[in-house]
């Protein structure tokens, strides 16, 4: 993710990139990290998720910055995430819901790829 962030900053453009893909990655990493924290796994088992989540959030922030004006829908999604993520990361969910969220993370990551694949197909280019 860091090379992608650097490339966006260098070109000052997000042309050809799907914001929805990055937003879904943030959700997927949040679910993965929260589950590992909830299960009490050692940092060595989930540390990568913490760094990937931070990078994904930075990537979303950079894409918001370069996709001015940021519409109401994007702000609403960001505010919703900021409201829900701390609850999930703090483990304040029913254990069954945690299991369901963790089971859904693979679908979230798969769905995160679809918007970018579709955009590449539509543009007949990978950016």
Tokens of 2: 């860091």
CA 123 to CA 66: how far, in whole Å? 19
* Nearest alpha carbon to residue 8 among 59, 75, 83: 59
What's the whole-number mean pLDDT along residues 79-106?
91
Q: What was the pLDDT predicted at 30?
A: 95
Instruction: Give the contacts of 81 (CB within 8 A, at least 6 positions apart).
Output: 23, 26, 27, 30
Q: pTM of this prediction?
A: 0.86
pLDDT tens digit string along 25-51?
Answer: 999 999 999 999 999 999 999 999 999
The average pLDDT across 103-113 equals 91
Sketch the domain layout of the chain as residue ranges.
18-123
More confident residue, 118 or 86: 86
């Amino acid at each position: 993710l860091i090379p992608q962030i650097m490339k966006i900053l260098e070109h000052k453009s997000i042309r050809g990139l799907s914001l929805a893909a990055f937003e879904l990655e943030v959700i997927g990493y949040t679910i993965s990290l929260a589950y590992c924290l909830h299960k009490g796994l050692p940092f060595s088992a989930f540390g990568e998720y913490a760094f990937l989540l931070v990078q994904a959030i930075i990537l979303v922030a950079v894409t918001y910055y370069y996709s001015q004006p940021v519409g109401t829908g994007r702000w609403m999604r960001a505010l919703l995430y900021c409201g829900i993520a701390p609850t999930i990361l703090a483990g304040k969910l029913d254990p069954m819901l945690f299991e369901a969220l963790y089971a859904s993370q693979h679908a979230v990551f798969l769905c995160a790829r679809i918007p970018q694949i579709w955009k590449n197909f539509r543009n007949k280019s990978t950016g």
